[in-house]
Amino acid sequence: MRIFLDANILFSGARSDGAIRRLLALLRKAGHSACVDDFVIEEARRNLEAKNSSALLDLDSLLLTMERLPTLRPDADLLASIPLPEKDHPVLAAAIRGGCDTLITGDRTHFGALFGTVFQGVIVYSPAQAAEALL
């Protein structure tokens, strides 16, 4: 299964050797492919630089285990149909355009209403839901 990771998942996985990093390792071990694009990488990098710059090396190590998708500008029809704030459009659009089956995000504020639902072929999960459904 191809899984797109939101920037907050990258941030958490790089910041500490905790639950998110373990989840990513277990998903890899189970044969799933983690996918990212430059948009989520740059957001995670910006946040790490501001809050925990020592974790940037861990981010780079994590990225070596992931498939990097091209950052594509989604078409207007796709953008108009995404039920999220505009700043979050690129994340779900990347998962859709990248042919991913799943999007994992910890952003309960903006994505919470989509947790557990399929949107244009992509099911949106919180990390806990992903662990339960995919492992």
> For 29, what's the count of Cα atoms within 13 Å in the CB-facing half-sphere?
8
Distance separating alpha carbons of residues 132 and 125, to the nearest angstrom: 10
**Contact, 10 vs 48, CB < 8 A?**
no
pLDDT given for residue 68 in this prediction:
96
What is the pairing mode between strands 122-125 and 102-104? Answer: parallel
Asked if pLDDT for residue 78 goes beyond 90, the answer is no
**Contact, 102 vs 2, CB < 8 A?**
yes
Domains and CATH numbers, the chain: 2-134 (3.40.50.1010)
pLDDT given for residue 100 in this prediction:
97
- Quick check: helix, strand or coil at residue 33? strand
Distance separating alpha carbons of residues 55 and 122, to the nearest angstrom: 30
Distance from the Cα of residue 4 to its chain's centroid: 5
pLDDT given for residue 76 in this prediction:
67
Q: Terminal CA-to-CA distance of the chain, rounded, Å?
A: 11
DSSP-assigned beta bridge partners for residue 125: 104
pLDDT in tens, 24-66: 999 999 999 999 999 999 999 999 999 999 999 999 999 999 9
